[in-house]
């Protein structure tokens, strides 16, 4: 699951800002503004990009700081408008809605990934092949398929499902009537 820069910023601000007084939120807004400006200037510079301690895509880093600055400003405005002394994420209806949405997306991604893995496990047991059948056997196969309203491939699949391998390695199939 890939989160957008806004998702990452909202999650980070929600975690970092929990219980933070208004003065510290203002400091976080100022710091994010500085980081946003610095990363934007770094992108505009013509020289090589200095990576620092952590190797990161400069465009992605600039996007993240811009998103984080916007989210800190939103939290600051919310606190001022609501008269909150400290930021309480559970009282932040927009932030809580976004967090719930991220949780739902994450759960869907986990479920889809698990289903994909299960599908791959099941597919590992499947065998696909191309069978060249002599003309005489091919005619009999097409006739049996036609009577059952199936394709020759479907009849061959039913035949394969009924294969029995004996102790001596002999392969056999008991007589059956192909059906839907």
Domain boundaries, the chain: 5-125, 135-173
- Both tokens of residue 154? 């479907």
Cα(39)–Cα(54) distance, integer angstroms: 14
Give the model confidence (pLDDT) of 36-73 as tens digits: 999 988 888 776 555 554 546 788 889 999 999 999 99
Give the model confidence (pLDDT) of 128-148 as tens digits: 778 889 999 999 999 999 999
Nearest to 72 by CA among 163, 10, 117: 10
Q: Read off the DSSP letter of residue 48.
A: P
- Both tokens of residue 167? 């102790």
Give the model confidence (pLDDT) of 139-180 as tens digits: 999 999 999 999 999 999 999 999 999 999 999 999 999 988
């Amino acid at each position: 699951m890939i989160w957008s820069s806004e998702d990452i910023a909202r999650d980070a601000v929600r975690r970092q800002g929990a219980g933070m007084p208004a003065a510290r939120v203002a400091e976080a807004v100022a710091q994010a503004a500085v980081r946003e400006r610095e990363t934007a200037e770094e992108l505009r510079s013509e020289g090589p990009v200095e990576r620092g301690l952590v190797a990161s895509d400069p465009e992605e880093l600039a996007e993240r700081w811009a998103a984080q600055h916007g989210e800190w400003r939103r939290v600051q405005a919310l606190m001022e408008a609501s008269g909150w002394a400290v930021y309480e994420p559970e009282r932040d209806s927009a932030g809580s809605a976004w967090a719930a949405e991220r949780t739902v997306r994450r759960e869907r991604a986990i479920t889809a990934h698990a289903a994909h893995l299960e599908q791959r496990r099941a597919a590992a047991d499947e065998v696909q092949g191309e069978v060249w059948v002599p003309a005489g056997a091919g005619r009999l196969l097409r006739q049996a398929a036609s009577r059952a309203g199936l394709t020759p491939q479907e009849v061959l699949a039913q035949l394969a499902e009924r294969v029995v391998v004996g102790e001596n390695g002999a392969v056999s199939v008991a007589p059956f009537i192909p059906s839907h």
